[in-house]
Structure 1
Amino acid sequence: MCGILGTIPASDHEVFKHALNTLTHRGPDSYGIENISDEVSLGHRRLSILDISANGHQPMFHESKRYAVIFNGEIYNFLEIQQELQALGHNFRSTSDTEVLLKAYIQWGEDCVLKFNGMWALAIWDAETKKLFMSRDRYGKKPLFYAHIDGKFVFASEMKAIFPFMEKLEVSEDFHWMKKNIFFYESTEKCLIKDIKRFPAGHNGHYENGELKLYRYWNTLDHLVEVPKRYEEQVERFRELFMDSCKLRMRSDVTIGTALSGGLDSSATIAAMANLARNNKSYSDDWQHAFVASFPGTPLDESHYAKMVTDHLGIGATFVDIDPLKHWDNLEHYFYLFEDLYITSPLPMIMLYGAVKENGTTVTLDGHGADELLSGYQQGALESLWDARFNPKNTKDILNIYQGSINEDTVQYNRVGNLKLYTNYMMRKMGKKILGKKMPSVDNSHRNFGKLDNLSQYLYSMFHENILPTLLRNYDRYAMINGVEIRMPFMDHRIVSFVNSLPYSSKIGNGYTKRIVRDALDPYLPKEVTWRKSKIGFSSPIVDWMQNDLSEWFLDVVNSNDFLQSNLVTDPNQLRSKITAIVKKENHNFTEAQKCWSDLSPYIWGNAVLKRNAVNMQAG
């Protein structure tokens, strides 16, 4: 897990080193820079995970010196690929996955990425053909940006490493659309900064003769699988896949742990790790490190559920009290490091992974991806109504699941409420069908998209195109700001293909969302967690902050002339009124407070990114 930077043609060493050092947080352990015949500069900031010796140093050259690679990420199945390559005559001088990756490319060409189980953003320079090969993992867990600047091609793990090569920074033409559509720009090439583009997930590319050509190598719809017809067999298969996914992700030469919320997904992950270790199937003996974000006295605190899990597994936990005042002075710096916009403050998550690092843990296995893959959100229940429309029992079950997700204490079946809910949804859906409207997705014309049921189509878009890509971007930043690597067992491509091939009734039903996860992991978890219906999510207690510890800060900001004259905020005066009403406790609505933060964040971002860079340019 690292930060990478490259330019074609090669760049001045000092300028390049300065740009590479903007990624020091991603790779605090060491760095490497190579200028190859003035044709290309390759740079790497290293976070040592596998083969922490000098043998894993990057940029890494093949023995022939023809090829050089820089790589950010992990190839979890590198040992299996290495054995296959050794049988084909390849020799290895290191125990790193980087060397395996490079020789896999030499052996199989650009199709090598189809063999990888992992996450990556990589570039391989071929000194003979003068061609640069680039690739980003299937779902975009690792970031990659690029720009064409005055005849120079620049690519990097974060936008900030491209800034030093630009004459000035300007917001993109799509900036105001992006800030209003927070969950819809990450899966596109759009970036907040003009002239920088995002390398798309699941794509390869090659740069030669001044042109970058991209092509898509992975589409989940091309990799659907046959699933067992009996639900019980589906549960067994999911359990096997999930255990193996966790096992592969426990390969590490450094300490591993987990960010444990007390919810189902992170609890399932650490329970699987414990089961693997108990049965001597783990690649790591040093995994018993659970870190729990605690929000004492607020509705977002789930730490008591997390303690149930760690007590059940017989391991300890580090509880991290999220006190915004401890880090609020660093807010603009964190925005600079974060680079993008989101609906909530990055502080709690940055603080949590900061505590992970401070306590000696470098790698976490977390539960990200399960909600989007397996219908953990409220809206998914409604979308499954269309699939259950000819089955009264399933329809009633789904409606009760939906109502229960609103309020766990509602146990009485509300026939009138459910009937209205059902009628309204089905009428809207029928209207769309009559008008020929498909589920919104860039892939809705794919021959296999129509084979998915309605819920699976909805989740496909959520997983590949809106919610999850944004969350992956966020958690990459939260962790890498602290030099921590997150691994995500639910996002193993084998699991993604399997789950996308399942019927809706395996994902939601029998009273619960994420049905197959609960049934598969129930033997390893406390019942209070497995069968818990309430869902809180990892966010910021923004109303509490605005009305108490940070009330003065919010009022100072929205009453400043700089804010009131900002062209990054849609209506500064209106936003000032809304924030003032919340601060003065005239409004206690969490959703509105979160919207206020979302509307305010472009202003903070502007100060952190645009103005900071302008100052740096003047100093240079």
Structure 2
Amino acid sequence: MCGILGTIPCSPNEIFKPALDTLTHRGPDSYGIEHIGQDISLGHRRLSILDLSPKGHQPMLDDSGRYAVIFNGEIYNFLEIKKELEGLGHKFRSTSDTEVLLKAYIEWGEESVSRFNGMWAFGIWDRDTKQLFLSRDRFGKKPLFYSQIGDTFVFASEMKAIFPYMETLEVSEDFHWMKRNIFFYEATEKCLIKGIKRFPAGHNGVFKGGRLTIYRYWNTLDHLVGVPDTYQGQVEHFRELFMDACKLRMRSDVTIGTALSGGLDSSATIAAMAHLSKNNRSYSDDWQHAFVASFPGTPLDESHYAKMVTDHLGIGATFVDIEPLRHWGKLEEYFYLFEDLYITSPLPMIMLYETVKANGVTVTLDGHGADELLSGYQQGNLESLWDARWSPTRTKDILNIYQDSINEDKVQYERMNSSKVYTTFMVRKLAKKALRKKMPSTDNNHPNFRKLDNHAQYLYAMFHENILPTLLRNYDRYAMINGVEIRMPFMDHRIVSFVNSLPYSSKIGNGYTKRIVRDALDPYLPKEVTWRKTKVGFSSPIVDWMQNDLKEWFLDITHSGAFLRSDLVSDPKTLQKEIGNIVNRESHSFADAQKCWTDLSPYIWGEAVLKRRN
């Protein structure tokens, strides 16, 4: 897990080294630079996780000197691939996954990525053909940006490493569309900064002769699988896949742990780690480190559920009280490091992973991806109503699940009665069907997409194209700002293919969301967590903050001349009034407060990113 930077042709070191150092937070342990003739400069900031010795140093060259690689990520099945390569005559001088990746490419070329179980963004230079090969993992867990600036092609882990090569920083033509569609730009090439593009997930690229050619190597719809006929068989197969996904992700030469919320997904992850360790199937003995974000006195606090889990497993936990005033002075620095826009403050998440690092843990196994894959959100749950429309029993079950999943706080979170929910959904769905509207997805013309049930189609887009890509970007930043790597067993590509092949009734039903996860992991978890119905997302208690700790800050910033003159905010005066309504307790709506933050954040972003550079 690291930060990478490359330029074609070579860059002067007095420009390249400072540009690489903007990624120091991603790789605080060491750095390496290779200028290969006049052809290419390759730079790497290292976060040492596998093979901590200098043998794992990057940029890494093969024995002949023909190939050079810079790599950000982890190949979890590197030991299995290494054994196969050794059988083909390859010799290894390190115990790193980087060397395995490089020699896999030498052996199998561009097809090598299909053998990897992991997360990655890497570049491999071929000195003989003067060709650069780029690749990004199947689902975009690791970031990659690029830009053509005059005669120079630049690629990097973050936009800020490209900034030194740009004469000026300007917002892109799509900036105002992007700020209104925060969940819909991460899966595109669009970036907030003009002239920079996002390399797409699940794609490879070849840069040769001054031209970049990008092509798709992974589409989940091409990898759907047969599933057991019985639900019990599906549960057993899911359990096997999940345990193996966790086992592979416990490979580490440094201490590992988990960010534990007390919700089902993170609890399932650490329970699987405990089970694997107990049965001598773990690759790490030093895993018993749970970190819990706590929001005392707010509707977002789940720390008591997290304690149930750690007590059940017999391990300790570090509870992190999220006190905004302690870190709010760093907000602009955090926005600079974060680089993008989101609907909530990054503070709680950054503080959590800061504590992880401060306690000597460099790798966490977290539960990200399960909500989008297995229907953890209310709207996704409703989509199954269309699939259950001929069954009154299942329809009633889904509506009960929908109501039970709403946050218990009745002041901030509104409720609607079930009959109204059903009528509203079905009328809208029937109207869309009458107008022959397809489920919005870039893959909705794929023949296998049409074979998915309505619920699976909705989740497919959520997982691959909107919600999850945004969250993956966010958590990459939250953790890497602190030099921490997050691994996500629910996002093992074998699990993704399997779950996308399941019927909706295996994911939602019998009174519960994520049904198959609960049944598969129930033997390892406290019942209060396995069968808990309410869901609380990891966010900021923004209403509470605006009305208490940060009241003065919100009032000061929205009454400042710079804010009122900002052209990054659509309507500063209206936003000033809306924020005043929350601050002065005229509104207690979480949705209203979250919208205020979303509308305000472009201004903070501009102060942190544009003004810092310009």
TM category (shorter chain) comes to over 0.9
Q: Distance in 1 between matches of 2:110 and 2:524?
A: 40
3-state DSSP class of the match of 2:122?
A: strand
CA displacement 1:66-87 (0-9 Å, x = unmatched): 0000000000000000000000
Structure 2 contact 407–536 (Cα < 8 Å) conserved: no
Superposition deviation, residue 463 in structure 1? 0.1
Residues 397-476 of structure 1 aligned to structure 2 (within 5 Å): 397-406=397-406, 417-476=417-476
Superposition deviation, residue 409 in structure 1? 10
Equivalent residue number for residue 86 of structure 2: 86
**Deviates most, 473-482 or 539-548:** 539-548
Equivalent residue number for residue 182 of structure 1: 182
Which ranges of structure 1 fall in alignment gaps of 5 or more residues?
411-415, 615-620
Superposition deviation, residue 420 in structure 1? 3.5
Q: Distance in 2 between matches of 1:258 and 1:417?
A: 37
3-state DSSP class of the match of 1:229?
A: coil
Residue 162 in structure 1 maps to residue 141 in structure 2: no
Q: Distance in 1 between matches of 2:433 and 2:555?
A: 49
Equivalent residue number for residue 277 of structure 1: 277
Q: Distance in 2 between matches of 1:286 and 1:445?
A: 47
Equivalent residue number for residue 3 of structure 2: 3
**Deviates most, 320-329 or 232-241:** 320-329
Equivalent residue number for residue 579 of structure 2: 579
CA displacement 1:9-58 (0-9 Å, x = unmatched): 00001100000000000000000000001100000000000001000000
Superposition deviation, residue 408 in structure 1? 6.1
Q: Distance in 2 between matches of 1:482 and 1:425?
A: 43
Residue 47 in structure 1 maps to residue 47 in structure 2: yes
CA displacement 1:426-453 (0-9 Å, x = unmatched): 2321221222111000000001000100
**Deviates most, 113-122 or 553-562:** 553-562
Q: Distance in 1 between matches of 2:402 and 2:408?
A: 10
Structure 2 contact 20–43 (Cα < 8 Å) conserved: yes
Q: Distance in 1 between matches of 2:113 and 2:479?
A: 25
Equivalent residue number for residue 255 of structure 1: 255
Q: CA RMSD in A?
A: 1.1
Structure 1 contact 246–269 (Cα < 8 Å) conserved: yes
3-state DSSP class of the match of 2:513?
A: coil
CA displacement 1:401-424 (0-9 Å, x = unmatched): 1122236699xxxxx943343233
3-state DSSP class of the match of 1:406?
A: coil
Which ranges of structure 2 fall in alignment gaps of 5 or more residues?
411-415
Equivalent residue number for residue 38 of structure 2: 38
Superposition deviation, residue 380 in structure 1? 1.6
Equivalent residue number for residue 528 of structure 1: 528
Superposition deviation, residue 297 in structure 1? 1.1
Equivalent residue number for residue 118 of structure 2: 118
Q: Distance in 1 between matches of 2:409 and 2:330?
A: 40
What amino acid does structure 2 have at the position aligned with 1:176?
H
3-state DSSP class of the match of 1:225?
A: coil
Residue 309 in structure 1 maps to residue 305 in structure 2: no
Equivalent residue number for residue 335 of structure 1: 335
What amino acid does structure 1 have at the position aligned with 2:41?
S
3-state DSSP class of the match of 2:155?
A: strand
Q: Distance in 2 between matches of 1:482 and 1:161?
A: 17
What amino acid does structure 2 have at the position aligned with 1:604?
I
Q: Distance in 1 between matches of 2:408 and 2:605?
A: 37
Equivalent residue number for residue 288 of structure 1: 288
Residues 383-398 of structure 1 aligned to structure 2 (within 5 Å): 383-398=383-398
**Deviates most, 390-399 or 598-607:** 390-399
Q: Distance in 2 between matches of 1:610 and 1:245?
A: 41
3-state DSSP class of the match of 2:587?
A: coil
Q: Distance in 1 between matches of 2:167 and 2:582?
A: 41
Residue 153 in structure 1 maps to residue 153 in structure 2: yes
3-state DSSP class of the match of 2:450?
A: helix
Equivalent residue number for residue 224 of structure 1: 224
3-state DSSP class of the match of 1:495?
A: helix
What number of residue pairs does the alignment pair up?
A: 609
Q: Distance in 2 between matches of 1:330 and 1:423?
A: 47
Q: 1:42 to 1:407 in 2, by over 3 A?
A: closer
Structure 2 contact 299–409 (Cα < 8 Å) conserved: no
Q: Distance in 2 between matches of 1:402 and 1:443?
A: 28
Superposition deviation, residue 378 in structure 1? 0.6
Q: Distance in 1 between matches of 2:36 and 2:460?
A: 42
Structure 2 contact 543–589 (Cα < 8 Å) conserved: yes
CA displacement 1:354-413 (0-9 Å, x = unmatched): 000000000000000000000001112210011111222211111111122236699xxx
Structure 1 contact 408–533 (Cα < 8 Å) conserved: no
**Deviates most, 213-222 or 424-433:** 424-433
